[in-house]
Amino acid sequence: MSVPFVTPSVLPTASVHPRSTRNRPALAAVLVAALAFGTTALAQSPGYTYTPDVGQAGKDVVWVPTPQPVVDKMLELANITPKDTVLDLGSGDGRTVITAAKRGVKAHGVEYNPDMAALARANADKEGVSKMATFQTADLFEIDLSQATVITMFLLPTINERLRPKLLELPAGTRVVSNSFPMGDWKPDRSETVSQGCSNYCTALMWVVPAKAAGTWQLDGQRLTLKQSFQNLEGTLGTNAISDAKLEGKKIAFTSNGIRYEGMVEGNAMTGTAGGGKSWSARKS
Ligand SMILES: C[S@@+](CC[C@H](N)C(=O)[O-])C[C@H]1O[C@@H](n2cnc3c(N)ncnc32)[C@H](O)[C@@H]1O
């Protein structure tokens, strides 16, 4: 069952957080590295006393804050605009959500630990962005992801891979950004490592959910056959193999017989231009 995206505090606030035994080695590694961060001084509302410890247990992942320069890089790689809705999975003290909100972008955090969610709300309030930055207490595996156009995370490789099938079913063009951890064999469209102001977990990785382009198409009287692996394509147009073929969200590009085809995939239809000028269209058969 999916928890609606905007339902606040769907879990009991007095819940005990189960410790995962499955991820113990990875968690231990994160914990050791976490100590290198030192304790972050967190701004809190007057009267709010919860102070989290870096490396403290979480349901599936310990809490380690993303260094602020990496938060900035993650949002930069996702190219967020006020048209976006950002969703941070495992939102901790709220820093990614609050940073997006301060840039005029609606953002929402899902956090299992109710104390962390309350702290994030207090931090958003203090920064004056509590209307744009909202938080709910919930399990990230049970949340409905469909309203987000940008999904951010700092989890673990195993959790990213568990989330991957759900992410790949999101609308083409949805951006997924992870601090440091990969998505198995779904390679990032872009990644960048921050060197200033960051000593651990400094790489932002960004994927664009690709359109579904696999199959046989009729392109202006020629048969286009496409095989797809994530954003990568191979296939033939007529009797020629295509090369340098790629999807970025709905955008498709490939070369056939020396001609570069660029276009957009919209369900069972594609339109675009070839060789920079002549229009083409295709339908899935
Ligand atoms: C490594 S911290 C990242 C925090 C924040 N996103 C950041 O980048 O600073 C992971 C967070 O996920 C939370 N968490 C762990 N398992 C979760 C789950 N199943 N659902 C929701 N939150 C979870 C932890 O409590 C912790 O705050």
- For 77-96, the pLDDT digits (tens) are 999 999 999 999 999 999 99
- How far away, in angstroms, is 113 Cα from ligand 1 center? 8
Domain boundaries, the chain: 24-202, 215-284
End-to-end CA distance of the chain: 35
- How far away, in angstroms, is 186 Cα from ligand 1 center? 22
Fold type of domain 24-202: Rossmann fold (3.40.50)
| Averaged pLDDT score across all residues of the chain | 87
pLDDT value of residue 144:
97
Q: Does residue 64 line the site of ligand 1, with CB under 6 A? A: yes
Q: Does residue 270 line the site of ligand 1, with CB under 6 A? A: no
Mean pLDDT of 45-50: 62
- How far away, in angstroms, is 32 Cα from ligand 1 center? 17
Closest ligand 1 atom to Cα of 52:
27
Q: Does residue 132 line the site of ligand 1, with CB under 6 A? A: no
**Residue 3 host element (H or E):** none
The whole-angstrom separation of Cα 134 and Cα 9 is: 11
56, 113, 158: residue to mutate for ligand 1 pocket, most atoms within 8 A of CB: 113
Q: Does residue 174 line the site of ligand 1, with CB under 6 A? A: no
pLDDT value of residue 20:
36
- How far away, in angstroms, is 139 Cα from ligand 1 center? 10
Environment class of residue 21 by beta-carbon count within 10 Å: exposed (0-12), middle (13-18) or buried (19+)? exposed
Q: What pLDDT band is residue 276 in, cutting at 50, 70 and 90?
A: confident
Q: Does residue 55 line the site of ligand 1, with CB under 6 A? A: no
Tracing tokens 């209307």 back to the chain, one arrives at 131
pLDDT value of residue 4:
53
Contact 235/227 with Cβ under 8 angstroms?
yes
The whole-angstrom separation of Cα 270 and Cα 265 is: 5
- How far away, in angstroms, is 4 Cα from ligand 1 center? 18
Environment class of residue 154 by beta-carbon count within 10 Å: exposed (0-12), middle (13-18) or buried (19+)? buried
Above 70 in pLDDT, residue 44? no
Condensed to tens digits (0 to 9), the pLDDT of residues 171-226 reads 999 999 999 999 999 999 999 999 999 999 999 999 999 999 999 999 999 999 99
Identify the residue whose C-alpha is closest to ligand 1 atom 11. 90
- How far away, in angstroms, is 65 Cα from ligand 1 center? 9
Above 90 in pLDDT, residue 28? no
Phi then psi dihedrals of residue 29, to 5 deg: -65, -45
Condensed to tens digits (0 to 9), the pLDDT of residues 104-144 reads 999 999 999 999 999 999 999 999 999 999 999 999 999 99
